[in-house]
Structure 1
Amino acid sequence: MARAIRWPLVVRRIHKWLALFVGVQVVLWTITGFYMVVIHIDTIHGDHLVKTAPTATIATAGLVPPATVAAAVEGATEVQLQQRLGRPIWRVQSPAGLVAFDAVTGRRLAALTGPEVERVARRLYAGDAPVVAATRLTEPVQEMGKRKPTYWQVEFEGWNRPTLYIAPVTGELLAKRHLAWRVFDFAWMLHIMDYEARTDVNNPLLRVATWSAFAMALSGAGLLIWSFPRRKQKKAVR
């Protein structure tokens, strides 16, 4: 005689193994989600690290025409007027990369040197801590995401390791990083379960964990229903 399947026992075992498999990740989702909600996003972005720059007005009288500098760069796709260390420059984008020209003389500018980058960083930084190191990076670093080098990494003294990333040609601020951002980045990696690029929010590992957590919740709900006592129907007395 075949034994009847004891469904509550089967569901309990499924629930137990699912909890063992995905329980740690559920805890990580909770902790990392709490951090990402509690810390204000402006703080994460490091807006407090840099000064609020006033809108710069650059007089165009006497400047080299943009068509002139564009003609000097093969395949130029974009020309913009901006400032570098207080001087107007033409920023020329092309398939080969970024080039800068002195907007007054038309002279092609070399990349910023280490001391010049430090001057740029000090003008941008809102604090008064000294520069610890200024490093020209040619290999990508995790905290710059998909942005390709070359760029300057300028670190300031401080417990939260405030760091500014500066474009080597134009002196533009590329990114602001500090401890709260780095913790957020690590928490985001754990949250989305993308342990390499930290950008794929639909990776297979996350899908498996999500559906496992859903199945765990569903089986737990079933066990909860079965846990309530059922009234036994009395047989009618003839």
Structure 2
Amino acid sequence: MAIRWPLLARRTHKWLALVVGVQALLWTLTGLYMVAVHIDIIHGDHLVRVPVVEPFDLAGLAPPAQIVAAAPGVSEIRLQRHFGRPVWRAETPDGPRLFDARTGQPVAPPDAAQIRTLARHIYTGEGKIVSVRMLTDAPQEMGSRKPPFWQVEFEGWNRSTLYLSPATGELMSRRHALWRIFDFAWMLHIMDYDERTDINNPLLRVVTWATFAMAATGAWLLIWSFPRRRRKKA
């Protein structure tokens, strides 16, 4: 029995279109959103103030060697400000620690009231703080970052949220409604419904090849549908 290629191509094209058509539409819509909204807005750069770099008076500061001795296993040490005063920030195997830059004494981790003050200073919006919580379980929007961390939420349609370090009060991340929409769109776009990071997962590859097959059969049917001239007999 001879294979009827036009019929086979038409049926293949139809069923592939039914299977991958919805995903192709999602690729279009999510891609449009990701292009339309500027990436700086998605990152939330407009939500936080740019830190002002101020010079330090190095006279009378505790030597770095004193901090290294007080924090065994330190891999990095740098001078920064914490509530306006100079502190040494030491990166240790257990995470960052702060030391008073003048006395060399450890600085206590910020409490909820201090976190509220830091968040209010960092945030550029006008909305009031609606909640300050220490999270021990990471929400989906924090990805692979390990808790604990402080979560500070602000009022407003954008649901702006800042995440701060429990050890130093430093800004770890910022999230808002447009970022959350982007994250959801990205999940649909790459078809990774768990971690939302794998851009080469098996499901995406299968659907991509199926879409290619749909396009190829559609192109073949288009060419086949053109009228063909018959050769005249001599």
Once the two structures are superposed, the pairs formed by residues 155-194 of structure 1 within 5 Å of their partners are: 155-194=153-192
Which runs of 5 or more residues in structure 1 are unaligned? none
| Distance in structure 2 (CA, Å) of the matches to 1:58 and 1:196 | 46
The residue number in structure 2 matching 1:151 is 149
Alignment pair present for 1:222 and 2:212:
no
Structure 1 runs of 4+ off > 3 angstroms? none
Alignment pair present for 1:130 and 2:111:
no
| Distance in structure 1 (CA, Å) of the matches to 2:216 and 2:104 | 69
- What's the CA shift for 1:54? 1.9
- What's the CA shift for 1:155? 0.5
The residue number in structure 2 matching 1:16 is 14
| Distance in structure 2 (CA, Å) of the matches to 1:221 and 1:234 | 28
Q: What TM-score, normalized to structure 2? A: 0.96
- What's the CA shift for 1:52? 2.4
| Distance in structure 2 (CA, Å) of the matches to 1:63 and 1:162 | 38
The residue number in structure 1 matching 2:48 is 50
Identity %: 59
- What's the CA shift for 1:122? 0.6
Q: State which of 63, 66, 69 in structure 1 corresponds to 2:64.
A: 66
Deviations 1:25-78 (A, max 9, x none): 100000000000000111111111112222232222211111111111121111
| Distance in structure 2 (CA, Å) of the matches to 1:137 and 1:57 | 34
| Distance in structure 2 (CA, Å) of the matches to 1:144 and 1:177 | 9
Tell me the number of residue pairs that the alignment of Structure 1 and Structure 2 aligns.
234
Secondary structure of 1:171's aligned partner = coil
Q: What TM-score, normalized to structure 1? A: 0.95
The amino acid that maps onto 2:21 is G
Secondary structure of 1:75's aligned partner = coil
The residue number in structure 2 matching 1:198 is 196
Q: State which of 92, 95, 101 in structure 2 corresponds to 1:94.
A: 92
- What's the CA shift for 1:233? 2.6
Which moved further from structure 2: 194-203 or 167-176? 167-176
| Distance in structure 2 (CA, Å) of the matches to 1:82 and 1:141 | 29
Which runs of 5 or more residues in structure 2 are unaligned? none
| Distance in structure 1 (CA, Å) of the matches to 2:123 and 2:22 | 40
- What's the CA shift for 1:105? 1.9
| Distance in structure 2 (CA, Å) of the matches to 1:162 and 1:215 | 43
Alignment pair present for 1:213 and 2:211:
yes
Secondary structure of 2:80's aligned partner = strand
| Distance in structure 2 (CA, Å) of the matches to 1:180 and 1:58 | 38
The residue number in structure 2 matching 1:106 is 104
CA RMSD of aligned residues (A): 1.1
| Distance in structure 2 (CA, Å) of the matches to 1:164 and 1:146 | 16
| Distance in structure 2 (CA, Å) of the matches to 1:60 and 1:205 | 57
The residue number in structure 2 matching 1:139 is 137
| Distance in structure 1 (CA, Å) of the matches to 2:56 and 2:209 | 56
The amino acid that maps onto 2:20 is V
